[in-house]
């Protein structure tokens, strides 16, 4: 089970009501296909061996005996398969009839789980036939099979089973199951279709997986169930901690491809979220009376089919992206608004470089001032051309300040830095780190001193990616009085500025055009002289690496604590066709080295608002000693070359 990924599936084969032999044959067919795709667990619909809509036929001994014998027949026919099968059937025990799910593996019926909540309202009348199972713990059937509520543990993970209505009640059995270690919940269902129910069902599965910090695999009945009074659509859903990984097309055709839904579950991701949440940890392993059934199973490493986005910080759906951008800008502005109001400050000072970060900081400040009802002239935008400033970036910074109606000041740093070089006896022709950082610190000094003159607040421009890489001059652009971009990664900064450009396209075309050009400008600190034709010579991503890769590494390292080797293999899939393996390895190694070496800068960053799940604030989400060793991480990454 490489990197904690396993493949699960929900299958809705065609059934014939009351025809157990036909239903078993269909179940075996799907089981074999799933096994060929290295599926670890395959779940089928509620009462799938007989059909859910048998009605009073459930009271016929002939059908009950056929279903029970059919269960063992199914186990025998699939004894050569490594895939765990979960099937539904009616099961008589102790003079009572239960609606159950049977767990099968390699010819053995491992356990039988009865339905606890039996609906008897609206179109449902299950109490006419079935008894709710209200006992805790496991009892043994006459066939020596475990019967009752249980968590199943095999192959390095744990799962549990509930049946249809068990999900829809206020206190689902799955709550107790996850308290006892279940990471995946499988639900055998036969949920009929009425207007609006599909959305409710989808939201229910999604939120249950989020609440449980688990994966939830919901398998619904489809074609073949009686349509005498109801219609069934085979609405299968697989969710993982609040995110729907896969969802079937309702009312699909009879093709096998449409009748089965696969997804690759990331168990390590679930485990990471559970480790992180101490309230979840405090709530587990309570006295719920749930037994754990262990059985041996080894599942092969799968060739990952799960989609992995190149930009985990950025929604891929356009509508979601626009909503995300609006939310983030509002959160950033709310943070600055609150700070300005708290200290009764009516002026803000921003260094405008014509780059993405300072532009976003200005946009946020505009929103905050508008919310406060303060004249935008109180925003003092300062452009500070130096040795590497190009006309493109300088003009863009001037254009956006003028279009927004801010106060604009231009202060060249060249003479001051030249004097500084003389003072410290540095050769101006030596373009080393001293040459670069002297310019950054001079700019910060100007901003701070003007803020003192004006009684204003210096708004920081540095972003999350720069904090992760330490790509900032210590006590230079590293410092401000409030950092509005501190939890915005570089890949997202670009989209936020693009969103503002699109938003202003009708009301202010000149501003929109300038913002669009800033988005198209190569990322650069512009601390080295431009080329002979006046273009940017110092391009950050050529030196430190592509930000889309670094943001990918950052997200999975900080958000989930994944190992570098796992992140590397995920990156290979996400960036297939964009970067080769050698390039990904090179920049991930660079990221790990820089991340550990640059913690001292993160230990003393200014205040700023957290807007996402990843933050490196030393007062919030990330506490790390500045002298921690990076060897464990580099050694793990090196294993991918072995």
Name the β-bridge partners of 86: 43, 103
Catalytic residue among 146, 164, 219, 325: 164
Distance CA 154, CA 106 (A): 13
Percent of all residues in the chain with a pLDDT value above 70, rounded to a whole number: 96
Q: Position of tokens 């109001």?
A: 341
Q: How confident is the model at residue 539 (pLDDT cuts 50, 70, 90)?
A: low
Q: Whole-number mean pLDDT of the chain?
A: 93
Q: How confident is the model at residue 538 (pLDDT cuts 50, 70, 90)?
A: low
Of 305, 207, 210, 300, nearest to 261 (Cα)?
305
CA 605 vs. chain centroid, Å, equals 26
- Residue 122: the pLDDT is 81
| Cβ atoms of residues 40 and 88 within 8 Å | no
Instruction: Give the CATH architecture of domain 2-294.
Output: 4-Layer Sandwich (3.60)
Whether CATH 3.40.50.620 fits 318-641: yes
User: For the segment 38-69, what is each residue's pLDDT rounded down to a tens digit?
Assistant: 999 999 999 999 999 999 999 999 999 999 99
Distance CA 391, CA 372 (A): 34
Number of neighbouring beta carbons within 10 Å of residue 278: 9
User: For the segment 82-120, what is each residue's pLDDT rounded down to a tens digit?
Assistant: 999 999 999 999 999 999 999 999 999 999 999 999 998
- Residue 284: the pLDDT is 56
Evaluate if pTM is beyond 0.85.
yes
User: For the segment 523-534, what is each residue's pLDDT rounded down to a tens digit?
Assistant: 776 667 777 776
Distance CA 389, CA 412 (A): 10
Q: Mean pLDDT check: name the lowest of 131-140, 155-164, 437-446, 454-463.
A: 131-140
Number of neighbouring beta carbons within 10 Å of residue 267: 19
Say if residue 124's pLDDT is above 90: no
Q: How confident is the model at residue 355 (pLDDT cuts 50, 70, 90)?
A: very high
The verdict on whether 115 is a catalytic residue reads yes
Of 585, 599, 584, nearest to 629 (Cα)?
599
Coil, strand or helix at 499: helix
Say if residue 479's pLDDT is above 90: yes
> If you write DSSP's letter for every residue of 511-575 in order, what string do you get?
HHHHHHHHHHSPP----SPPPTTS-----HHHHT--HHHHHHHHHHHHHH---HHHHHHHHHHHT
Report the half-sphere exposure of 206 (CA within 13 A, side-chain side). Answer: 12
Coil, strand or helix at 350: strand
Number of neighbouring beta carbons within 10 Å of residue 203: 11
User: For the segment 277-296, what is each residue's pLDDT rounded down to a tens digit?
Assistant: 888 766 555 556 789 999 99
Say if residue 521's pLDDT is above 80: yes
Q: How confident is the model at residue 226 (pLDDT cuts 50, 70, 90)?
A: confident
Average pLDDT score over residue span 621-642: 95
**Domain 2-294 identical in fold to domain 318-641:** no
| Cβ atoms of residues 396 and 435 within 8 Å | no
Proportion of the chain in helix, strand, coil states, percent, rounded to 5 = 45, 15, 40
The verdict on whether 39 is a catalytic residue reads no
Catalytic residue among 39, 54, 66, 115: 115
User: For the segment 108-118, what is each residue's pLDDT rounded down to a tens digit?
Assistant: 999 999 999 99
User: For the segment 546-595, what is each residue's pLDDT rounded down to a tens digit?
Assistant: 999 999 999 999 999 999 999 999 999 999 999 999 999 999 999 999 99
The verdict on whether 589 is a catalytic residue reads no
- Residue 526: the pLDDT is 63
Please report, for the chain, the start and end positions of each structural domain, with discontinuous segments joined by +. Answer: 2-294, 318-641
Catalytic residue among 26, 46, 165, 442: 46
Percent of all residues in the chain with a pLDDT value above 90, rounded to a whole number: 84
For the chain, counts of helices (H) and of strands (E)? 22, 20
* Structural tokens at position 77: 């026919």
> If you write DSSP's letter for every residue of 37-65 in order, what string do you get?
TT-SEEE--TTTTT-GGGGGGGG-HHHHH
| Cβ atoms of residues 462 and 469 within 8 Å | no
Average pLDDT score over residue span 394-419: 96
Distance CA 16, CA 623 (A): 60
Element (H, E) at 34: helix 20-36
Q: Which residue has the higher pLDDT, 537 or 504?
A: 504
Distance CA 170, CA 566 (A): 38
Residues in the chain: 642
Of 376, 397, 444, nearest to 416 (Cα)?
444
Coil, strand or helix at 404: helix
Distance CA 236, CA 31 (A): 16
Of 314, 408, 328, 391, nearest to 363 (Cα)?
328
Q: Strand 157-163 relative to strand 150-154: parallel, antiparallel, unpaired?
A: antiparallel
The sheet carrying 108-114 orders its strands as: 138-140, 146-148, 108-114, 96-105, 84-93, 41-43, 5-11, 260-266
Say if residue 540's pLDDT is above 80: no
User: For the segment 190-225, what is each residue's pLDDT rounded down to a tens digit?
Assistant: 988 889 999 999 999 999 999 999 999 999 998 888
Distance CA 66, CA 131 (A): 20
- 99 phi/psi in degrees, rounded to 5: -95, 115
């Amino acid at each position: 089970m490489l990197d904690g990924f396993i493949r699960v599936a929900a299958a809705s084969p065609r059934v014939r009501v009351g025809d157990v032999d036909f239903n078993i044959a269909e179940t075996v067919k799907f089981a074999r296909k799933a096994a060929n795709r290295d599926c670890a667990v395959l779940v089928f619909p509620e009462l799938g061996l007989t059909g859910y809509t048998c009605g009073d036929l459930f009271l016929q001994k002939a059908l009950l005996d056929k279903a029970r014998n059919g269960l063992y027949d199914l186990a025998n026919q699939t004894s050569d398969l490594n895939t765990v099968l979960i099937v539904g059937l009616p099961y008589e025990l102790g003079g009572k009839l239960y609606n159950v799910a049977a767990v099968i593996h390699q010819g053995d019926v491992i356990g039988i789980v009865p339905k606890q909540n039996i609906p008897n309202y609206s179109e449902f009348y299950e109490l006419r036939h079935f008894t709710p199972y209200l006992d805790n713990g496991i009892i043994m059937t006459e066939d020596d099979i475990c019967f009752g509520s249980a968590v199943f543990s095999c192959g390095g993970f744990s799962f549990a089973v509930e049946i249809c209505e068990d999900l829809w009640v206020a206190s689902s059995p799955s709550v107790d199951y996850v308290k006892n270690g279940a990471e995946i919940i499988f639900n055998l269902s036969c949920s009929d279709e009425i207007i609006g129910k599909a959305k409710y069902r989808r939201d229910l599965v999604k939120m249950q997986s989020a609440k449980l910090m688990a994966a939830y695999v919901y398998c619904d009945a489809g074609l073949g169930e009686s349509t005498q009074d109801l219609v069934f659509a085979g609405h299968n859903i697989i969710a993982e901690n609040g995110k729907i990984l896969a969802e079937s097309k309702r009312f699909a055709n009879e093709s096998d491809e449409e009748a089965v839904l696969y997804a690759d579950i990331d168990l390590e991701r679930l485990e990471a979220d559970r480790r992180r949440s101490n309230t979840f940890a405090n709530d587990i392993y309570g006295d719920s009376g749930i037994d754990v059934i262990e059985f041996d199973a080894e599942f092969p490493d799968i060739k990952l089919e799960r989609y992995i986005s190149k930009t985990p910080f950025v929604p891929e759906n356009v509508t979601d992206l626009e909503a995300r951008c609006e939310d983030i800008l509002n959160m950033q502005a709310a943070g600055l608004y609150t700070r300005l109001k708290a200290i009764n400050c009516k002026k803000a000072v921003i260094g405008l470089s014509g780059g993405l970060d300072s532009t976003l900081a200005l946009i946020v400040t505009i929103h905050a001032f508008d919310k406060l009802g303060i004249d935008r002239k109180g925003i003092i935008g300062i452009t500070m051309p130096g040795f590497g400033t190009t006309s493109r970036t300088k003009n863009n910074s001037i254009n956006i300040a003028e279009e927004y109606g801010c106060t604009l000041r231009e202060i060249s740093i060249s003479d001051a830095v030249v004097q500084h070089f003389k003072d410290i006896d540095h050769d101006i022709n030596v373009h080393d780190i001293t040459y670069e950082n002297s310019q950054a610190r001079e700019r910060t000094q100007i901003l701070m001193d003007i803020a003192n003159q004006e009684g204003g607040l210096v708004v920081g421009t540095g972003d999350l990616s720069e904090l992760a890489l330490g790509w900032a001059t210590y006590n230079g652009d590293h410092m401000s009085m409030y950092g509005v971009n501190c939890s915005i990664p570089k890949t997202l900064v670009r989209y936020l500025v693009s969103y503002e450009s699109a938003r202003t396209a009708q009301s202010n075309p000149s501003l929109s055009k300038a913002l669009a050009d800033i988005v198209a400008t190569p990322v650069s600190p512009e601390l080295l002289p431009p080329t002979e034709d006046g273009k940017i010579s110092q391009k950050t991503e050529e030196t430190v690496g592509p930000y889309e890769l670094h943001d990918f590494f950052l997200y999975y390292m900080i958000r989930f604590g994944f190992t570098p080797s796992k992140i590397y293999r995920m990156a290979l899939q996400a960036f297939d066709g964009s970067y080769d393996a050698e390039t990904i390895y090179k920049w991930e190694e660079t990221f790990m080295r820089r991340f550990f070496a640059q913690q001292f800068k993160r230990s003393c960053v200014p205040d700023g608002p957290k807007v996402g799940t990843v933050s490196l604030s030393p007062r919030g989400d990330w506490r790390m000693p500045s002298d921690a060793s990076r060897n464990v991480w580099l050694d793990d990454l090196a294993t991918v070359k072995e």
